[in-house]
Amino acid sequence: MFDLLSIVLKYVFVFIIYLFIFTIIRMIYLDIRSVDYGNLESGAYLKLLNRIDSLPYNLSDSYPVEGELTLGRQKENIIQIKDPYISKKHFRIIKDEEEFFLEDLGSSNGTYLNGERVLDVVRIGKGDIIKVGELEFIFIDGA
């Protein structure tokens, strides 16, 4: 009985240890914090996952989401991206009663949330990945 259990569990142990390592590497790669910091870092923000210097346009590392955050090719957007692939008004993130929603503003090439195309409005939470063209953002809700 013990022998059998021990033999089965040895594979499980190796699996858990590697999954642990893999998760940590992935989190380090995405550069997010693994522990809830309570009120130490309040506020939600979008963090750019692409390397800034690999992109041909000016972007900053992260954008706070306060009320409304818009992304598009037009100057009026908070995040302006001069890329023909991006629509004039591409998407926006709205805060409504402590919840955050991602709305695609009828873009021609689409907005993807965790790999799925956003058709209308979806609620987003901590750790969600938003993809527009070649740009990837991670949504982090610090509160």
Partner 1 sequence: MKERLNSKAPRKLLFLFEILSLSLIFLFSWEGIQTETYAIAVGLVLLIYFSNYMLGRISKGDNYVFLIVCMLVSIGIIMIYRISPDLGLKQLMWLALGIAMFFAAYFAIRYISFWDRLTPLYLVVSYGLFALTLIMGTRTHGAINWISIGGVSVQPAEITKIVLVFLLAAFYGGDEKYRRIKNAEILLMLVIYSFIGLLFLQRDLGAALIFFGIFSGLQYIYTQDRRLIWANLGLAAIGGIAGYILFDHVKVRVTTWLDPWPYINDKGYQITQSLFAISEGGFFGTGLGRGNPAFIPLSYNDFIFSAISEEMGIFTGIGIIMLFMLLVYRGFKIALRQDNQFFRILALGISMVFGIQSFIIIGGVLKVIPLTGLTLPFVSYGGSSVVTSFIALGILQGTSEKRGKAGIGNG
User: What's the min distance (Å) between Cβ of 105 and partner 1?
Assistant: 22
Name the residue nearer to partner 1 (CB basis): 26 or 82. 26
User: What's the min distance (Å) between Cβ of 128 and partner 1?
Assistant: 6
Cα dihedral 10, 13, 14, 15 sign: positive
What distances in angstroms separate CA 33 from CA 37, 43, 62, one per listed residue? 9, 14, 14
**Which stretches of the chain bind partner 1, using CB under 8 A?**
1-3, 5-7, 9-14, 16-21, 23-28, 30, 32-38, 40-41, 114-115, 125-129, 138
Name the residue nearer to partner 1 (CB basis): 21 or 121. 21
Name the residue nearer to partner 1 (CB basis): 88 or 126. 126
User: What's the min distance (Å) between Cβ of 111 and partner 1?
Assistant: 14
What distances in angstroms separate CA 34 from CA 30, 40, 107, 119, one per listed residue? 11, 14, 33, 31
Say if residues 62 and 78 touch (Cβ distance below 8 Å): no
